[in-house]
Amino acid sequence: MSSTLEQSQFNFTGQTNAYHGKVRDMYSIGSDLMVAVVSDRISAFDVILPKGIPHKGQVLNGIASYFLDAVSDIVPTWKLDTPHPNITVGHACEPIRLEMVIRGYLTGHAHRTYASGKRVLCGVTMPEGMKEHDRFPEPIITPATKAAEGHDEDISREDILSRRIVSETLYQQLENTTRALFQRGTEMAAQRGLILVDTKYEFGLRNGELMLIDEIHTPDSSRYFIADGYEERQNTGTQQKQLSKEFVREWLMEHDFMGLEGQQVPHMTDEFVQTVSQRYIRLYELVTGRAFEGDDSLDPVADVQAAVEQWLKQNR
Query: Can you give the pLDDT of all 316 residues of the chain as single tens digits?
Result: 468 999 888 999 999 999 998 899 999 999 999 999 999 999 988 899 999 999 999 999 999 999 999 999 999 999 999 999 999 999 999 999 999 999 999 999 999 999 999 999 999 999 999 999 999 999 999 999 976 555 679 999 999 999 999 999 999 999 999 999 999 999 999 999 999 999 999 999 999 999 999 999 998 889 999 999 999 999 999 999 987 777 898 899 999 999 898 999 999 999 999 999 998 898 899 999 999 998 888 899 999 999 999 999 999 8
CA atoms 157, 163, 168, 170: torsion sign: negative
pLDDT in the model for residue 244: 74
| Cα-to-chain-centroid distance, residue 120 | 24
Say what the pTM is.
0.89
User: Do 195 and 230 touch, CB atoms closer than 8 A?
Assistant: yes
Task: State residue 55's pLDDT score.
Answer: 95
* pLDDT score for 148: 58
Q: What pLDDT shows up at residue 42?
A: 93
Identify the CATH number of the domain defined by range 95-243.
3.30.470.20
Distance linking the first and last C-alpha atoms of the chain: 35
Which segments of the chain belong to CATH 3.30.200.20?
15-92+269-315
159-167 own/partner pairs: CB under 8 Å, 24+ apart = 159/123, 160/98, 165/96, 165/97, 165/98, 166/96, 166/98
Arch. (CATH architecture) of 15-92+269-315: 2-Layer Sandwich (3.30)
If you compute the radius of gyration of the chain from its CA atoms, what whole number of angstroms results? 19
Start and end residues for every CATH 3.30.470.20 domain found in the chain: 95-243
